[in-house]
Structure 1
Amino acid sequence: MVHSLLSAIENVVAITDSEKSLIAGLFRLKRFEAGDFFLREGEVCKQIGFIEKGLVRYFINDDGEEKIYSFSKENQFTSNYESFGPQKPSKQSIQVLEDSSIYVISFQDLEKFYAEVRNGERFGRIMMSEVFIETLQNLNSLYTDSPQTRYENFIRENADLQQRISQYYIASYVGVKPQSLSRIRKRISF
């Protein structure tokens, strides 16, 4: 239901009833099956999504090895802004991990959102700022935190995802092999 999308926007900026109708018309609900790609490496990202139900992973292919750098779940936006903004081919992939319902908006319709929703550009600026900050925090963590600390932080911040994501994917996100993640899990207890 588009209500979750509108609530997410209203949590950031005020929108009128007429703007809600406009926004509902700009986004369309798209269903994905587990394993589908929201975006493949080499494609141009042509949409931003809001996950109503489901889960996605973000990864790069490093010489045949997939390296996961993030996940998004319900009530979060998903896109590859590095590709979406300049409309250039993506170096990353976004794959759906569960059957998912995602509201999508095209590049052209997002421009309409910015132009016709009073606080549309402000919403976009705030969301991009959040994405930028999260990216910097993840990068800093990758360089400064041990795999155990990254795992502990992941579990603390995403307790609900532990049962939804394979240990193989969590290991990739933490930056270790699955066997090393097993050893880390044995050493700690939550």
Structure 2
Amino acid sequence: MEALFNSLAFFVPVGEPEKEIIATLFTEKQFKKGEPFLLEGKVCRQVGFISKGLMRYFLTRDGEEKTFYFAREYEFVSNYESFVPQIPSLKSIEALEDTTAYVISYDNLNRLYATMANGERMGRLIMEQVFVQALQNLNSFYSDTPEQRYEKLLQTHPDLQQRIPQYYIASCVGVKPQSLSRIRKRLSLR
């Protein structure tokens, strides 16, 4: 849980009183490879902090899965557009590896905001970070070439190539696996 404390301390001071509150409201949960964190059509009722493992966000359209984000160690995982208003999710999140996460329910997160010094400020700062990341991903999809998106993915997540199948990376970049192979070949010739 120390990694969670350190991550939250990036946003607000986390002393012993705050650690006690956090420790009582978050619970450790194990997700087996392939196990869902959230299923499309269900309301997202938790936020997780990944201490070990990897998860992917994806949509299913016309029977095809479209991967659009990966969350890994020391990152928060949730579908905030479902979690905040408590409405059904349009996307799914699943573990790509056996994953350990500290999760907090919607009700417990509201308790954390109410009882922890700077709790609401922390929540706002985390949500701002999530919002900016979502906008950057959206802007990249419309302004960058697939090759540029692939390079950015490798810069931010250099270990992903060894951890997940290439077809998930291709989907996240917005190309077919064959096109990703050509991109990788061009980049290797540089």
TM-score in same-fold range (> 0.5) = yes
Q: How does 1:169-184 map to 2 (within 5 A)?
A: 169-184=168-183
Give the aligned residue type for 1:83: S
Q: Which residue of 1 aligns with 2:63?
A: 64
Deviation, structure 1 residue 115: 0.3
Q: How does 1:121-160 map to 2 (within 5 A)?
A: 121-160=120-159
Instruction: Normalising by structure 2, report the TM-score.
Output: 0.97
Q: Which residue of 2 aligns with 1:6?
A: 5
Deviation, structure 1 residue 145: 0.7
- Paired residue total: 189
Q: Which residue of 1 aligns with 2:105?
A: 106
Alpha-carbon distance between aligned partners in 1 of 2:90 and 2:156, rounded to the nearest angstrom: 27
Structure 1, gaps ≥5 residues long: none
Percent identity over paired residues: 56
CA offset digits 1:142-181 (Å, max 9, x no partner): 1111111111111111112221121000000000000000
Q: Which residue of 2 aligns with 1:96?
A: 95
Instruction: State whether residues 41 and 93 of structure 1, in contact with CA within 8 Å, keep that contact through their aligned partners in structure 2.
Output: yes
Deviation, structure 1 residue 16: 2.3
Alpha-carbon distance between aligned partners in 1 of 2:15 and 2:162, rounded to the nearest angstrom: 38
Give the aligned residue type for 1:29: E
Instruction: State whether residues 15 and 117 of structure 1, in contact with CA within 8 Å, keep that contact through their aligned partners in structure 2.
Output: no
Structure 2, gaps ≥5 residues long: none
1:72 aligned counterpart, secondary structure: strand
1:87 aligns with 2:77: no
Alpha-carbon distance between aligned partners in 1 of 2:132 and 2:65, rounded to the nearest angstrom: 24
1:9 aligned counterpart, secondary structure: helix
1:52 aligned counterpart, secondary structure: strand
1:170 aligned counterpart, secondary structure: helix
Instruction: State whether residues 48 and 77 of structure 1, in contact with CA within 8 Å, keep that contact through their aligned partners in structure 2.
Output: yes
